[in-house]
Chain A
């Protein structure tokens, strides 16, 4: 991926022709009360109908050219929200417009203007080459015939697949497939791009290039909705972030605004081995402690304890953990991730 090629982003459409300007709106995406319920049948002998309220009333407006992040734990409703916006799912309630067009009644107009990239290695024709995949989707997504060749070459360069495009996709690595997904999503120069965990399985160097590409697209006027589980990625890229949990937006603001939610706090990080649940529960009860979280890193666990700045909890915490093998203990300022943990835990 070459940063020069990030300039291949679509130029913003001339204002006079853009429908939402016509409608007097600066928003590329507007959603009101968006909700979605899934009905599933479980059990085979005695089937029972089960309903899941995946999204429960989401209001959003994303400005043209804005890079909007959607963060939240697994099952929060991020993918569901994106699929309602990109016409793959019909909302159970609420309305949404993309580029001024309704996602339910003006599907074709919406589809002309959007790109969709999801994480994972499915969704490609495995027995065709990368090039054939792109050629097929270029036709399908109505890229003018005389532009196709140049556009595909440009995108192969951009995602760093040049030289490998003749190979069958079944021989691609996971990261290569992900890059092919990204190239496909950009073929028709969409005005609005939905990126659902686009950096999954991509190596750190390529992930950095990907972030540069995404930032370049946004700088050139593409509106982007991004979901990711990498806080640093969201922090670096997003103009605004919505934290969603349990199908509702729990917090919305710029990364700096969200970070401020953890103001007045201090974070203690402890490397440990085999922390029992009971000890964790005890930590949470300590005076001054606001949040605790554990992250497994191989055999090691990383414990984060957020506390009020004016209380020194380190002594108490280490006392609770006595008898457990510990590694390094550090105290630091809160990051976006700590703010995120606080928001999600509060929901």
Chain B
């Protein structure tokens, strides 16, 4: 109970801290507009308004993904640069509960990007926001944030274990957009990508959102998204424990 409270408050405060970074603010203003534009131009040729809102949601998801990837991949390094890594690791808690609020916060700010993309789509391009299941859309959005936060934790922990894995992060952006079917339906991708896509929580999060938008069974996708997220949490938690121990041996919790 107290752990849940700590996770919630920690996530909110980290999101607050993130949202005040001038870089993040600029990104948050520009990226959704660019994405809404992309979505509209890629799919205007498509057959109907369904496609448009689907594209806008997909584009918004890319915003979340970008936020999680850059935010979570560098989460631990950022804390190190700020000099806060030692102070948070000093808490009498498991490393996973210390780091999870940070990656969850990147998913929260990413969720803002999704909503902003929809808003821009509405304002600038007049996309009609008609959701098949509004309540399920909300649930899917929350599931997306949770799933991505947990996936972000896996990224944060593996990136910090593998040296210079940050260099890996940026090229990961596009393949995962495609693989998760955020921009194009998975069915048009080559078949070898299917198993890869199936283990990414983003795939199921995107699917849940799409189903909530245009109609379909939302709940199974939400369930799978969360289940995969939970696996990420367990594996990421283990990696973080290894990382913490190793950093205390190599004296890399602090910069020096």
Contacts and interface: CB of A to CB of B under 8 A. Distances in A.
Interface string A7-21: 000000000000000
Interface string B59-86: 0000000000000000000000011101
Contacts of A126: 82
Q: Which of B88, B248, B250, B253 has the most CB of A within 10 A?
A: B248
Interface in A163-187: 168, 184
B188 interface: no
Interface stretch (B1-9, B144-152, B193-201): B1-9
Contact of A141 (B9, B92, B253): B92
Interface in B3-22: 5-6, 9-10, 13, 16-17, 20-21
Interface residues of B, number: 29
A86 interface: yes
A70 B91 CA distance: 24
A124 B253 CA distance: 15
Contact of B251 (A38, A87, A114, A136): A38
Contacts of A90: 245, 248-249
B90 A87 contact: yes
Contacts of A290: none
Interface residues of A, number: 33
B13 A132 contact: yes
Contacts of B92: 108-109, 111-112, 141-142
Given A88-B253, A136-B10, A123 B86 contact: yes
Contacts of A145: 2, 5
Contact of A135 (B13, B20, B84, B91): B13
A136 B13 contact: yes
A89 B249 CA distance: 6
Contact of B6 (A38, A128, A140): A140
B233 interface: no
A230 interface: no
Contact of B90 (A38, A86, A136, A139): A86
Interface in A114-157: 114, 116, 120, 122-128, 132, 135-137, 139-142, 144-145
A142 B248 contact: no
Contact of B248 (A89, A127, A132): A89
B98 interface: yes
Given A145-B2, A145-B5, A88 B16 contact: no
Nearest to A39: B250
A119 to B, nearest CB: 12
Given A111-B90, A116-B90, 14 more contacts: A90-B245, A90-B249, A109-B92, A111-B91, A116-B86, A120-B83, A123-B82, A123-B83, A124-B84, A125-B82, A139-B6, A140-B88, A140-B91, A140-B93
Interface of A: 38-39, 86-90, 108-109, 111-112, 114, 116, 120, 122-128, 132, 135-137, 139-142, 144-145, 168, 184
